[in-house]
Amino acid sequence: MKPIFALSLALAIGASSVFLPPSSKSSDASLNAVATTDGKAAPDFSLTTTDGKPLKLSDYKGKGVIVNFWATWCPPCRAEIPDMMELQKEYEGKGFSFIGIAIGDEEEKVKAFVSAQKMNYPVAVGTRELAMSYGKLTAEGAIRGIPTSFVINRKGEVIGYFVGARDKATFAEAIKQAIAN
């Protein structure tokens, strides 16, 4: 990881505790308004999962997706993963998947964490450019803290996002919205 990106991410996360709601789990089921509400297509990406498989968002067209930006060193990120794993199991047969994108993290640490937790959805280490392309869709114009999750409908359009950890009920409502469209 480049030192400038790490420093920028650390500053953004530090600032998020001042300007954004706390990262504790929230039961607020509403999604924040996305800056571009005209059915903006989610930025595609091509990454490799922690188990060596190709991962492209475009391969999920026709499915609802939640792209979750997170890191192994982030306590709120780790706290929401068990709920996401349960919901992945519940909704994967209904045309849905979580995709985890680790940012500001070391690849070996991410691989070890995913393996230890037995995470059941695709996880990859993201790039600065990918985080920036999704950040442009927020009202703030950048990913200002993690976890940040983007809800994408079956057409590949971002229909909402939220910053900070969310509880199982909030994710379940977001999944229902993603697969309904």
Question: Domains of the chain, with CATH numbers?
Answer: 3-180 (3.40.30.10)
pLDDT exceeds 80 at position 1: no
Smallest CA-to-CA distance from 110 within 58, 82, 69, 161 is with: 69
Question: Which ranges in the chain belong to alpha helices (H)?
Answer: 3-19, 75-91, 107-117, 128-135, 168-180
Q: Kindly report the CA angle at 141 between 138 and 145, in degrees rounded to 5?
A: 75
Q: Among this protein's residues, is 74 annotated catalytic?
A: no
Which pLDDT value is given to residue 17? 30
Smallest CA-to-CA distance from 130 within 180, 60, 55 is with: 55
Question: Which ranges in 20-147 belong to alpha helices (H)?
Answer: 75-91, 107-117, 128-135
Quickly count: other Cβ atoms within 10 Å of residue 6's Cβ: 13
Q: What percentage of the chain's residues is helix, strand, coil (to nearest 5)?
A: 40, 20, 40
Assign 7 a pLDDT band (cuts: 50, 70, 90): very low
Which pLDDT value is given to residue 58? 96
Rounded to the nearest integer, the mean pLDDT of the chain is 84
- The residue behind tokens 């349960």 is 86
53-92 confidence digits (pLDDT tens): 999 999 999 999 999 999 999 999 999 999 999 999 999 9
Which pLDDT value is given to residue 140? 86
DSSP bridge partners of 56: 46
Which pLDDT value is given to residue 139? 85
Smallest CA-to-CA distance from 160 within 53, 61, 34 is with: 34
Q: Is 85 helix (H, G, I), strand (E, B) or coil?
A: helix
Q: What mean pLDDT comes out for the span 148-167? A: 94
Report the relative pairing of strands 46-48 and 148-152 from DSSP bridges: unpaired
Q: Compute and round to an integer the Cα radius of gyration of the chain.
A: 15
Catalytic residue among 77, 99, 163, 175: 77
pLDDT exceeds 60 at position 100: yes
Which pLDDT value is given to residue 5? 43
DSSP bridge partners of 67: 99, 150
Q: Kindly report the CA angle at 157 between 156 and 158, in degrees rounded to 5?
A: 125
Which pLDDT value is given to residue 38? 52
Predicted TM-score of the model (pTM): 0.82
